Structures are given as C-alpha cells and as structure tokens.
Structure 1
Amino acid sequence: MGRIVALDFGKVRTGVAVTDELQIIASGLTTVQTKDLLTFLRDYVQTENVERIVVGEPKQMNNEVSESEALIIPFLKKLSDTFPKIPIERQDERFTSKMAFQTMIDSGLKKKQRRDKALVDEISATIILQAYLNRI
C-alpha cells in the first residue's frame, strides 16, 4: 500500500496531509504556497509511494459547488497531467476550516498561534483526509 495525500487547495496556500503507508492515520504534513504546489508534489512523489491524491471539494450548504471550485478545476487538470498514474479523488470539505480552528482551540493553542492561516490549512487538509478514510 502507498500513502494517500490530501490537499486543502487555496488560492494562496494549500494545506497538505498524508497517511501512513498502511493508510490508517491521517497527519498534517505542511502548507505550501499554491504556486509551488506541483513542484512540491513532484518531489514528494519521487521519495514516497503515493497511491492516490484527495482534493477537497468546496460545497455550499445547498450542496452546490462553491465559487472557489473555479480555481480548483484547472489545477485538477494540471495535477492529472503531471501524475497520470495516480488516481485523484474529491472529498467534501464543508466546515473543515471551522473544525480546524476548533481543533486549535481544543488543543490549547494560544490566540496568536490560532491566527496562523498556514496551520489552519494544514489541519483542514488532515480533516479532509480523515473524512476520506472514514468514507472508504
């Protein structure tokens, strides 16, 4: 088995989370500037066995796609062109930012640390990945 990589794609930053090789535990990996994301993923895939990539799917409360989906669609094309042998799946990401923020509060992070948007993105990617693991 290989790792599953999850992305909380954003216009500026993208949170990245991964599973262990047995695909049991989802852990935050890092946050990458979105402009550098494909380069980061190329390097990561060269050193780690990646079985699939899960990309968060932003939806509105009425189940319609969010306007940020317009940014994700072109990225998905580049991603599949870059990694044609790695399946790409989507995972509903509603409420992940709020859940990430609440996780930060629950874990005792100080107010200044909770303002770190990169950390919120990384935790959001982890929540997306855990939701995916729970679904499969």
Structure 2
Amino acid sequence: MARILAIDYGKKRTGLAVTDPLKIIASGLATIDTEQLIWQLKQYFAKESVELILLGHPRRLDGTDNEITPKVEKLFAQLQRLFPEIPVQLVDERFTSKMAFQAMIDSGLKKKDRQNKALVDEISATILLQGYLDGQRQ
C-alpha cells in the first residue's frame, strides 16, 4: 500500500514525515539538508510507494506570504514536474513549529534537546501530516 509523505521545507533543513502503509499514523522520517531534498526524495520513492506529497505552505497569521513562501511554491512546481505520477498538495503550516515545540515540552524533553532545530523540523512535518490524516477521517 502507498504512503503519504509530508515535507516541512526550510532554508537550511527540511523535515520529512510519512504515514504507515495503512495511512493511520504519521511518523517522523528524517530531517535533511534542504540542498539534498530532491536527491533524498528520489531515493525514497525508488524503494517506497507514495500516493501523495503534502508540502507545508508557510504564511503569516494574516494569510499573506512570508519570506520563504516563494521558495516553497517553486519547490511545489519542481515536485510536480519531477514526480508527475504523485500528486502534490499545499497544506497550511502556520502553527506547526509552535505545536512541535510544545509537543517537545509536553513529552518531557530536556531544554538542551528542545534546542535541536532538526528535531523541530521533523516533528513539524509529522504534525502537518497527522493533521491531514485526522481531517480526512472527519
């Protein structure tokens, strides 16, 4: 069965999350250097079946673009061109980083561990994906 992959794009690092084959639970996959994103995706798609890519769409609270929105929209077009067999969907990600940080606090991570920005990116992608899954069930 095919999975759903979520991408939390960042200038330096990008968080990835993926569903289980039954599409019930989202799990963090990795945090990678953004420069390696396309190569990593090609590697992943060669070994796993993915039916949908969710790409976090960053916006300000008022809904306007922020400084990274144009880069994400460029990536959106690139993913559609490189992987035409996999639909790509933009998903609002306005609160995922804050939710990720709060999840780290709630899980009891020490302050030093909460400063790991790579972990925040991966958790953000997981929250994005789990929110999508939860919305599909309603």
TM-score, normalised by the number of residues in structure 1: 0.96
Q: Following TM superposition, by how much is the alpha carbon of 1:127 offset from its aligned partner in structure 2, in angstroms?
A: 0.5
Q: Which residue of structure 2 lines up, in the alignment, with residue 28 of structure 1?
A: 28
Q: Following TM superposition, by how much is the alpha carbon of 1:76 offset from its aligned partner in structure 2, in angstroms?
A: 1.4
Gaps of 5+ in 1: none
Q: Which residue of structure 1 lines up, in the alignment, with residue 65 of structure 2?
A: 65
Q: Which residue of structure 2 lines up, in the alignment, with residue 40 of structure 1?
A: 40
Q: Which residue of structure 1 lines up, in the alignment, with residue 14 of structure 2?
A: 14
Q: Which residue of structure 1 lines up, in the alignment, with residue 105 of structure 2?
A: 105
Gaps of 5+ in 2: none
Give the Cα–Cα distance (whole angstroms) in 1 for the partners of residues 65 and 89 of structure 2.
15
Q: Following TM superposition, by how much is the alpha carbon of 1:67 offset from its aligned partner in structure 2, in angstroms?
A: 2.6
Give the Cα–Cα distance (whole angstroms) in 1 for the partners of residues 13 and 122 of structure 2.
10
TM-score, normalised by the number of residues in structure 2: 0.94
Identity %: 54
CA deviations on 1:103-123 (whole Å, 9 max, x unpaired) are 111111111111100000000
Q: Number of paired residues? A: 136
Cα pair 1:52 1:87 within 8 Å, conserved: yes
Q: Superposition RMSD on alpha carbons, in Å? A: 1.0
Q: Which region of structure 1 is more displaced relative to structure 2, 1-10 or 70-79?
A: 70-79
